[in-house]
Chain A
Amino acid sequence: MKVTFPHVGRMDIFIKGMARALGMEAVVPPTNSKRALNLGVRYAPEFVCLPFKLILGNLIEALERGADTIILVSDRGPCRLGLYGLPLQIILKNLGYKFNWATLDSPQAIKSTFQLGMIKGVREYRDKLTFVDALLAFHFGWKKMLATEEIERLSLKIRPYEINKGDTTKVFYHGMRAIEGAENLYDLRKALDEAIRNLKKIPQDLSRRPLKVAIAGEIFVVLDSFANLDIEKKLGELGCEVDRTIWFSTHILHHLGLDRFMRRSKRRAIQAARPYLKYHVGAECNATVGYAILYAKEEYDGFIHLMPFTCMPEFVAGGVLTRVSKDYCLPIFTVELEEHSSPTHLMTRLEAFVDLLRRRRATKEQGFR
């Protein structure tokens, strides 16, 4: 059995780490690229959102590489993601691929899939799977994923200070590769420490005062740098210290109900959005609105709202955000992403937005004097 799954942020590192500890084989689709996108666009319905197209592209590329079992992590609407499973299966079957399919959209589905499929799959490689083995494997994968998030967070902090444009990105990717290649906890620790050391060694101009910008929106486009056209790198190089609201780990912790004590948790964001949204709209809509309020209260300079073109929940959020922007005096910029989005188009708007923030800050400071 060769398991595969579409990319969602750094989930691949988690699953690959887990599979490695179990001695299993996982076919990771190549990272999102123009080819994956083109495949997705060719076979997906025209008006479906960008994540669907990229997921389809990932699955085709994984099947080309010999995967035979597809796992899709999903939920049950009201966002279209809840319905992704069926059309994806139909499209792939029509293309002539043969595969087993499992949609993980509820605790029951996860349980039965793991009991029937995964354990059987593992048995092909090992005679016996003990509970301890599984736990250790999970722990290793989780740690690995956290390590990548840690250096990514650090890179977001350092990038606006870098003296040579592009340094941070290079060092960050180098560290990522080292962490990805780690075979055990000891190597992982070493790779992480070295990556952090290297990032801190980047020549920085600490006299700069970067603008503070938060990014929120639909989870897939927030997590995936290919889908959001490297918006974090672009903002960082324009002199913004970016804080991303969604990480793979925070998303999982939220769903497990373990984010109760985190300062900027999705739970708090949803509560903060209550005055504007009294019921759950779906996907990240309520959280997006709430995050804008939370970050406005922390005196952030600006807020970027990412959404795939035609995304229903985020479209609702966008409407509410115009009110939030006025009520809290927080400049909010909504970016709609689709396969036709061009990096230059985005860059013009981002440059203007950052200029707006910078001039706004300058007048504010003059006013205080």
Chain B
Amino acid sequence: MDAYLGIDVGSISTNLALIDEEKGVLAWEYLLTGGRPIEAVQRGLREIEKKLTPERLKIKGVGSTGSARHLTGILVGADTVKSEIIAHAVAASYLIPEVKTIFEIGGQDSKIIIVRDGVVVDFAMNTICAAGTGSFLDHQAQRLGVPIEEFGDLALRSEIPTRIAGRCTVFAESDMIHKQQTGHTTENIVAGLCQALVRNYLNNVGKGKEILPPVVFQGGVAANKGMKAAFEEELGYEVIVPQYYHVMGAIGAAILAQETTVQIKKTRFKGFEVSEVDYKTRSFECKACPNLCEVIEVLMNREVISRWGDRCGKWEVLEK
């Protein structure tokens, strides 16, 4: 069977998705990056390999996305390396063709993508502030002693959500502590936090954007029912959370790989064996000028296969 592989390596999670010729999802994998993108990709490949019988499977194309897309692209031999914005938009408009707005909230960033007739016409990513991302929710759940999986259900049980100052996450935290001390219940605080984050998201990331339904909400935070409910309350209509909300980037990358292979015919995929190859990265500071660029080197079996990070292009030679 022919299949396309998409790999999305983000700050918090590494996701892989395998789709067939009809873009149906054959397998997916969601693991934590844990600051080690190479290991995460290799682990993910091994898991995917376990789930399917690779002998009967022919990988015809590979796409990578996410903040480690370039590194991953070199590692596995990707046919297309695209930013997560396009990958998310492609996946959402395939699964929900009439989609007009996409909310994507991940571990470290949040974005809004405006789609009209299946084409991205505008987007925004959080720039100066990281308020409202998955990491913050995770941290607060821990502080309140609520497992992150139950966070959403708890929020839904609230009757009078507590008002929390959500402009800045640092102040949101101190406000939450204050509300706790004055006797607000945990579910009301949790629900209030969701509302504050939604307000923050719509005012900062969604600033000046034309938000029209259908709205698709994806990324790790979409698992949180409290956030979905808060969005719906603020917007006044239903927000769709797709079945594979947490691996949409990987699905998008796989679809993009399928698009590319139409043009290039043969994939550059190095095979599932790359999960056994010894990859390492290291960095050094170039002292040739006062810019002191930090140059990153990727080594395969102790041989440098790629370098980047310099402003002048002096070290970049090896990149193909």
Contact = CB atoms under 8 A, between A and B. Distances in A.
Contacts, number: 66
B98 interface: no
B177 interface: no
A169 B290 contact: no
B25 interface: no
B119 interface: yes
B290 A35 contact: yes
Contacts of B316: 166
A33 B86 contact: no
Contacts of A331: 121-122
B291 A34 contact: yes
Contacts of B183: none
Contacts of A348: 67, 83-85, 125
A276 B122 CA distance: 22
A352 B128 CA distance: 18
Contacts of B292: 34-35
Given A166-B316, A336-B128, A349-B125, A359 B82 contact: no
A165 B313 CA distance: 9
A356 B125 contact: no
Interface in A161-203: 165-166, 169-170, 173
Given A169-B313, A363-B119, A355 B86 contact: yes
Contacts of A309: 128
Interface residues of B, number: 26
- Which residue of A34, A336, A343, A355 has the most chain B CB atoms within 10 A of its CB atom? A355
Contacts of A33: 289-291
Contacts of A349: 83, 85, 125
B128 A30 contact: no
A353 B82 CA distance: 11
Interface in A294-347: 309, 319, 322, 325, 331, 336, 343-344
A325 B289 CA distance: 40
Contacts of A343: 311
B106 to A, nearest CB: 12
Given A36-B290, A166-B316, A331-B121, A351 B128 contact: no
A35 B128 CA distance: 23
Nearest to A349: B125
B119 A360 contact: yes
Interface in A137-180: 165-166, 169-170, 173
Contacts of B84: 348, 352
Interface string B58-88: 0000000001000000000000001111100
A343 B311 CA distance: 9
A359 B127 contact: no
Interface in B100-153: 117-123, 125, 127-128
B208 interface: yes
Interface in B303-320: 311-313, 316, 319
- Which residue of B121, B289, B290 has the most chain A CB atoms within 10 A of its CB atom? B290
A351 B290 contact: no
A331 B83 CA distance: 18
Nearest to B320: A165
A133 interface: no
B313 A356 contact: no
A363 B117 contact: yes
A303 to B, nearest CB: 13
Contact of B120 (A30, A319, A359): A359
Contacts of A355: 82-83, 85-86, 120
A35 to B, nearest CB: 4
A230 interface: yes
Nearest to A30: B290
A316 to B, nearest CB: 13
A1 B240 CA distance: 70
Nearest to B207: A322
B128 A359 contact: no
Nearest to A367: B117
Nearest to B319: A165
Nearest to A166: B313
Given A34-B290, A34-B292, A351 B119 contact: no
Interface of B: 67, 82-86, 117-123, 125, 127-128, 208, 289-292, 311-313, 316, 319
Interface of A: 30, 33-36, 165-166, 169-170, 173, 230, 309, 319, 322, 325, 331, 336, 343-344, 348-349, 351-353, 355-356, 359-360, 363
Given A36-B290, A355-B120, A356-B85, 11 more contacts: A33-B290, A169-B313, A170-B313, A325-B122, A336-B128, A349-B85, A351-B83, A356-B121, A359-B86, A359-B120, A360-B120
28 contacts: A30-B290, A33-B290, A34-B290, A36-B290, A166-B316, A173-B312, A230-B311, A309-B128, A319-B208, A331-B121, A348-B67, A348-B125, A349-B83, A352-B83, A352-B84, A352-B85, A352-B86, A352-B123, A355-B82, A355-B83, A355-B85, A355-B86, A356-B120, A359-B119, A360-B121, A363-B117, A363-B118, A363-B119
